[in-house]
Amino acid sequence: MSYYGLFKHVLLGPGLKAFYQPWVEGAEHIPDEGGAILASNHLAVSDSFFLPLVVKRKVVFLGKSEYFTGKGVKGYVTKSFMSGVGTIPVHRGGGRASEAALRTGLQVLQSGDLLGIYPEGTRSVDGRLYRGKTGVARMAIEAGVPIIPVAMIGTDVAQPLGKKMPSRENIGVRIGPALRLENFAGRQDDREVLREATDMVMQAIAELSGQEYVDRDSGVYKRELAQEARQARGSDRPE
pLDDT of residue 17: 82
Contact predicate 179/202, CB 8 Å: no
Domains and CATH numbers, the chain: 3-235 (3.40.1130.10)
What is the strand order of the sheet 23-25 is part of?
Answer: 23-25, 172-175, 147-153, 36-40, 114-117, 59-64, 87-90
pTM for the model stands at 0.85
Between CA 224 and CA 117 the distance in angstroms is 24
CB count, 10 Å around CB of 65?
14
Print pLDDT tens along the chain (239 aa).
Answer: 665 666 676 767 778 787 788 999 999 999 999 999 999 999 988 888 899 889 999 999 877 666 667 778 666 666 766 666 667 766 666 566 677 778 888 999 999 999 999 999 888 989 999 999 999 999 999 999 999 999 999 998 887 776 665 667 789 999 999 999 999 999 999 999 999 999 999 999 999 999 999 999 888 888 888 787 788 777 665 55
pLDDT of residue 26: 97
Contact predicate 85/4, CB 8 Å: yes
pLDDT of residue 223: 83
